[in-house]
Amino acid sequence: MTETATRAAPPALPLPRRALPALLGYAGVRALGLAVLAVWSAARGTSAHKLLSARWDSLWYARVAGAGYGHEVRLPNGDVHSDLAFFPLLPWLERLLHALTPLSYADAGLAVSALASLAAAAGIFAVADRLYGARAGVCAVLLWAVLPVAVVQSMAYSESLFTALAAWSLFAVLSGRWVTAGLLASLAGLTRPVGAAVVAAVWVTAAASFRRDGSGPDGPRAAAWRRVLGAAVAPLGAAAYVLWVGRHTGDGLLGYLDVQAGWRNGFDGGYAFARFVAAMFTAFPSALAGTALVLGVALLLWLYLTGVRQRQPLALLVYSGVVLALALCASSYFGSKPRLLLPAFPLLFPLARALARARPARAALLTSALAAVAAVYGALWLNGSGPP
């Protein structure tokens, strides 16, 4: 599979100008979601600001930013929730912004997430635009913005930051900037455990490029050392943190796995998730939710296979495949799986291409309807169970 199989014609305008409509559309969709959340929360007597900045994982990140690592919670069942489960790049940025501005750590997290979400939208556009053209790029960004749990993109969580780093790393791979791709992959590895997906994309694509006779994005006689250096740098961020955790806990290479086990996180090939879904079919009301889950998983697999049939570049297929596998086959909190899939933006490209071919009025109407549904669902979700 070549990287140029589906590449669009060379664009006439510079990337920032081409990306502007996508960024404006993304900002409008997110503004709608936040406005609905604010109204909904006020009607319920809750605080939209607190829901976005100071609940669930946001509290852990802010605590690490303010006091460093070392906090843990021991549950009655014996589980130990340690802040070592949270990778350090987001709290580092929160600490930096707190030091430079009057913002609290929590509000610094919101600011980082807001800026990162725009960077992620720009990266998604850049990748889709390079492959399929500007219109498909805009559609891909808008589809990412109207996902049911897209409100997480505006929370003090690490999903937006990770997606930004992943998207631009993949763009660097597609454009032959191997050292940049490796550096961004290393930063992604300091952001979330799923940084392994970005590392895998860099490694597999670099290895495959050595097997081609000048058909890679570098050109026929590109310096091989750039590919080697990019591949060597890519895993350093994640490796450094995992090794540090092992030394901190005294458990060596298994230290981080033990930390995740304390949160009941692990990789079981999807067995626990399958049991969870099967249990939902034992009663009628929950059977409807179980059916929806099965259909949702089937849709994800169909989108991935469609990307394969449409000859998406190898880097995208490896990346989205690993993200998909880690999200569906982990034994973590089942309610968190939708947000764990947020970074898998290449899965949206088949839909974006179809939407780009539709009439503009029909595409705008459909996107607006999805934005409204996502805004209402996001407000309902955060005022209910929300992300664990």
Residue 3 maps to a domain: no
Q: What is the pLDDT of residue 275?
A: 83
- The average pLDDT across 6-32 equals 84
pLDDT at 1 over 60: no
Q: What is the pLDDT of residue 90?
A: 98
Q: What is the pLDDT of residue 10?
A: 56
pLDDT at 103 over 60: yes
The C-alpha atoms of residue 276 and residue 107 are separated, in whole angstroms, by: 36
Q: For residues 333 and 138, which has the higher predicted lDDT (pLDDT)?
A: 138
Q: What percent of the chain has pLDDT over 90?
A: 75
Q: What is the pLDDT of residue 264?
A: 86
- The average pLDDT across 260-277 equals 83
Q: What is the pLDDT of residue 6?
A: 46
Question: For the whole prediction, is pTM greater than 0.95?
Answer: no
Residue 1 maps to a domain: no
Is 351:144 a contact under the CB 8 Å cutoff?
Answer: no
Residue 189 maps to a domain: yes
Burial degree of 146 (CB within 10 A; 0-12, 13-18, 19+): buried
The band of 7, judged by pLDDT with boundaries at 50, 70 and 90, is: low
Average pLDDT for the chain: 91
- The average pLDDT across 242-271 equals 88
Residue 7 maps to a domain: no
Q: What is the pLDDT of residue 9?
A: 53
Is 200:322 a contact under the CB 8 Å cutoff?
Answer: yes
Residue 2 maps to a domain: no
Residue 344 maps to a domain: yes
pLDDT at 4 over 70: no
pLDDT at 136 over 80: yes
- The average pLDDT across 250-262 equals 89
7-12 LR contacts (CB < 8 Å, sep 24+): 7/130, 7/131, 8/129, 8/130, 8/131, 8/132, 8/133, 8/136, 9/133, 11/129, 11/134
Residue 8 maps to a domain: no
Could you tell me the residue range of the domain that residue 174 belongs to? 15-382
The C-alpha atoms of residue 383 and residue 153 are separated, in whole angstroms, by: 16
Strands, DSSP E only, in the chain? 72-74, 80-82
Is 387:57 a contact under the CB 8 Å cutoff?
Answer: yes
The band of 315, judged by pLDDT with boundaries at 50, 70 and 90, is: very high
Residue 72 maps to a domain: yes
Q: How many domains are there within the chain?
A: 1
Q: How does pLDDT run across 317-365, given as a tens digit for each residue?
A: 999 999 999 999 887 777 788 999 999 999 999 999 999 999 999 999 9
